[in-house]
A and B are shown apart, each in its own frame.
Chain A
Amino acid sequence: MIKYIIQRIIAAFFTFLVIVVVVFFVIHSMPGDIIDLSSKIDPTVREVILDKYHLNDPLIVQFGYTMADYLHFDFGYSLKIRPGVPVLQVVLERLPITIQLNYFAALLILPVGLILGIIMAIKKDTVFDHISSSLVILLISVPSFVLAALMQYFLAYKLGWFPIILEAEESLTWSKFYSMLLPILALSFGSIASIARTLRAELAEVLTMDFMLLAKAKGLSFRQTIWRHALRNSCVPLASTFLYLFLGVLSSSLVIEQIFSVPGLSKTMLSAINGKDHWLTMGIVIFYVFIGLFMAILADLSYGIVDPRIRMGGKKDE
């Protein structure tokens, strides 16, 4: 098991390197000058800035300098979005609201998705199943930002039930939470739908298996056979899906934060890309890549936790 974890970490590290290299060159090949806004700037000051950031050197040399800085965990400074503020500090400042949103979304996604999936599997081929299956397909196909925009227009603007954008209040108060509801819902629907769909398929299959018949023949009630035998078995393929879903939530928050004016990390990243604040962009991308790879490792390990056949696969005799 430990060997397996180490293998996964090494593989993840190389993936990380490749992504960072690609992102660096893609970002730096965007057209336009990094300090193009300031055309009225004193040419000598301009030269000083260019020198300071090695912008006169070839790209490959710049890459070398950047990587050397990163090795010392120096992620540089924001140039335009928050001029002069260290990138790490910007990330840490903007992170909490993004985490909060994702956290609440997860709290909503897991129970609702699981319960919906279980009910659909048990009531397979009934009216309830047909209706919710169609709804689930609809929610999976419609991108979250369309839902977000629709909800914002109808529920917030037309009906006035919710605030249109997020409250600017720093701390988490009730009214702030209330204004977070729409973005949370928009983030959740797609994931709820895909969890429910996967669980329905898996559970429905497990329910037809021979060992479920034995569990019934043992004298367990229907409820007990579901709890004690079916659920964990149908979670084997789901375990990794769960974790990847949170990545999905993270990436859809890129757009959702924009729509609801949430001052989170994702919104900052969009402004950083548009404003050619390369160091900030790099910093946030690295952060996201790190989380993504971490989740991927967790997902791989989670198979082993739920399924002993995978955990003990390598060993002949336990």
Chain B
Amino acid sequence: MSAEVNQKEKVLEVKDLTVSFNTLAGKVQAVRGVSFDLYKGETLAIVGESGSGKSVSVKSLMGILPQNATIEKGTAMFKGRDLLKQTEKEWEKTRAREVAMIFQDPLSSLNPIKKIGLQISEIFTVLHKMPKKAAKEKSLELMRSVGIPEPEKRFNQYPFHFSGGMRQRIVIAIALASNPDILICDEPTTALDVTVQAQVLSLIGEQQRERQVSTIFITHDLGVVAHVADRVAVMYAGKVVEYGTAEDVFYDPRHPYTWSLMASMPDMDLDQDEKLVALHGTPPNMLVPPPGDAFSERNPWALKVDFEKEPPMFKISDTHYAATWLLHPSAPKVEMPHVLARRIQKSLERKEAKARG
């Protein structure tokens, strides 16, 4: 399995990405040495709670960080060049054509007083210097492909005529218009209601398979991750704490934070008198990150060393890594929460049953 994964072509290689924000209170260390790889045609899901630095990481891959953010160090190798060193002029050639992005809130990401059609076709007229008529044809075709009914009529309407799901379809169409190599989805379903979420997710999946575009998918919804991801990076306090294929992370989680996240997810197998596990506390203040493991304060399995020294990335398999001292050879043996172990057991059984047919 892992050998096969490793043969895939690496599209993007992010190493030691570090981003901080200059605020009045001081320097906020939003992203602290994040590394991950993106393979051709695959989906990498970045999971984490709000403020864990997932959005900031991918915004630096689009060159759209806010003014007060600085990339301290790190590289993001893409097609033999480092994206993080690009000037604004070079970014204008990269954005949309090579790296495109779908944003969180479709209600505010379209210009409210510009016709939907023009917002799509301006990509063709301005970026690709197409004549108006051809651009309109291309836009209609694109609208059809993302499932907009009656595109001719919809072309001349404004965003306020569209529902949230329809707007997100338009945003997806805009992102795909220039055939990018990498598609970044920044919580694309968070602002939508559940029925629409499923539709938008399957649309993204469909388009991704069709166009063989590599996708980075940001979310805090593990259910979504299970749906879309080939690989998963779990982020906490600006760091990747666990990284592996979807199977690695879902069936063999090693980091206590991943355990807590997964155990706190409600599911149908829960017994009636059983309490849902909740993760207590809040993430640390990133103005002054704690000296040891950032998760130690909330970690029920924390060791003494967790409060003193940051854990390195321990290698579990060729594809699976986790940053926790629990993986150190001399650490005490710790079992994952009972609820989680049972849940994984059940889903493995289901999977086998499915495989047998």
Contacts and interface: CB of A to CB of B under 8 A. Distances in A.
Interface of A: 209-211, 213-222, 224, 228-229, 232-233, 236, 306-309, 312, 317-318
Contact of A214 (B92, B110, B157, B161): B110
B100 A217 contact: yes
B178 interface: yes
Interface in B34-85: 62, 64
Given A217-B62, A219-B92, A210 B113 contact: no
Contacts of A309: 112-113, 158, 160
26 contacts: A210-B103, A211-B111, A214-B171, A215-B111, A217-B62, A217-B64, A217-B103, A218-B96, A218-B123, A218-B127, A218-B174, A219-B96, A219-B178, A220-B122, A221-B92, A228-B122, A228-B126, A232-B114, A233-B113, A306-B113, A308-B113, A308-B160, A309-B112, A309-B158, A309-B160, A318-B161
A302 to B, nearest CB: 13
Contact of A318 (B88, B108, B157, B171): B157
Contacts of A228: 122, 126
B26 to A, nearest CB: 19
Given A215-B111, A218-B123, A317-B161, 11 more contacts: A213-B64, A216-B64, A216-B95, A217-B100, A219-B96, A219-B97, A219-B127, A224-B126, A229-B111, A236-B113, A309-B160
A217 B88 CA distance: 12
B237 interface: no
A210 B109 contact: yes
Given A219-B97, A219-B127, A213 B109 contact: yes
A229 B100 contact: no
Nearest to B59: A213
A120 to B, nearest CB: 16
A100 B227 CA distance: 70
Interface in B323-342: none
Nearest to A214: B109
B160 A218 contact: no
B129 to A, nearest CB: 12
B16 interface: no
Which residue, B103, B105, B109, B160, has most C-beta atoms of chain A within 10 A? B109
Determine the main DSSP class of A at the interface with B: helix
Contacts of A220: 92, 122, 126-127
Contacts of B88: 222
Top 4 A-B pairs, shortest CB-CB distance: A219-B96, A210-B108, A214-B109, A211-B111
Contacts of A224: 126
Contacts of A229: 111, 114
Contacts of A318: 157, 161
B111 A217 contact: no
Contacts of B160: 308-309
Nearest to B97: A219
Interface string B130-157: 0000000000000000000000000001
A238 to B, nearest CB: 13
Contacts of A232: 113-114
Nearest to A313: B160
A211 B109 contact: yes
B83 to A, nearest CB: 14
B234 interface: no
A215 B157 CA distance: 18
B63 to A, nearest CB: 9
Contacts of A213: 64, 103, 109
A13 to B, nearest CB: 31
Contacts of B166: none
B123 A219 contact: yes
Nearest to A310: B113
Given A210-B103, A210-B105, A233-B112, A217 B96 contact: yes
B19 interface: no
A215 B62 CA distance: 13
Nearest to A232: B113
B101 interface: yes
A233 B119 CA distance: 14
B246 interface: no
A86 B222 CA distance: 84
Contacts of A308: 113, 158, 160
A116 B114 CA distance: 25
Interface in B156-204: 157-158, 160-161, 171, 174-175, 177-178
Contacts of A233: 111-113
Given A213-B64, A213-B103, A308-B158, A218 B113 contact: no
Contacts of B111: 211, 215, 229, 233
Contacts of A218: 95-96, 122-123, 127, 174, 177
A233 B109 CA distance: 14
A228 B123 CA distance: 11
A290 to B, nearest CB: 32
